[in-house]
């Protein structure tokens, strides 16, 4: 199980560094990504190409971003990572969220694995 934790740390470190190729390195070709905000599905991708395209778009939205792991729990099927998120917006996102605004969230990411690669990520905030 330690290898899975190391893969997750590498993925989050790459995310924080805006390193898209680093984020993709340990993803399964059929990666499924889902993002939920207040229990509503806000984004879903299927496959590494869609994930990469979305990751590149998302990177442009922030001047800085940082996911900090606060807890990790695991079972045979998945690894659940509690996250504190902080980001500085690079563009106006809405009337309420303008360039330079700080976003802070608490949430969790659920990672599933297949063939020693991340096969599914569910982000929940």
Q: Domains, the chain, ranges and CATH? A: 2-124 (3.10.450.50)
Q: How many whole angstroms separate alpha carbon 123 and alpha carbon 33? A: 8
Helix or strand holding residue 41 (H, E): strand 40-46
Bridge partners for 19 per DSSP: none
Q: What is the DSSP letter of 76?
A: S
pLDDT of residue 2: 59
Q: Which pLDDT belongs to residue 1?
A: 53
pLDDT, tens only, 30-77: 999 999 998 999 999 999 999 999 999 999 999 999 999 999 999 888
pLDDT tens-digit series, residues 80-109:
999 999 999 999 999 999 999 999 999 999
């Amino acid at each position: 199980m330690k290898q899975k934790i190391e893969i997750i740390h590498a993925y989050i470190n790459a995310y924080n560094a805006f390193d898209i190729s680093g984020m993709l390195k340990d993803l399964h070709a059929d990666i499924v990504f889902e993002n939920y905000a207040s229990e509503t599905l806000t984004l879903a991708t299927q496959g590494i190409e869609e994930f990469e395209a979305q990751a590149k778009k998302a990177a442009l939205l922030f001047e800085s971003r940082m996911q900090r792991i606060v807890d990790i729990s695991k079972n045979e099927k998945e690894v659940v990572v509690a996250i504190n998120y902080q980001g500085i917006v690079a563009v106006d996102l809405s009337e309420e969220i303008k360039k330079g605004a700080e976003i802070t969230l608490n949430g969790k990411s659920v990672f599933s694995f297949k063939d020693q690669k991340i096969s599914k990520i569910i982000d929940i905030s």
